Amino acid sequence: MVKSTDIGALIDRYLSEKKLACLEALYMWSKGIQSDTIASVMRNRYETEGEASYPAIVTDLSTLKVTSTSESTEDTKEYISRIIEDIFTFTKMY
> pLDDT tens for residues 16-70?
999 989 999 999 999 999 999 998 998 888 877 777 888 999 999 999 999 898 9
The whole-model pTM stands at 0.87
Q: Answer whether 72's CB lies under 8 Å from 78's CB.
A: yes
Q: What is the Cα–Cα distance from 82 to 12, expressed in whole angstroms?
A: 17
Category of 78 on φ-ψ map: left (φ > 0), alpha (ψ -120 to 50) or beta? beta
**pLDDT tops 70 at residue 71:** yes
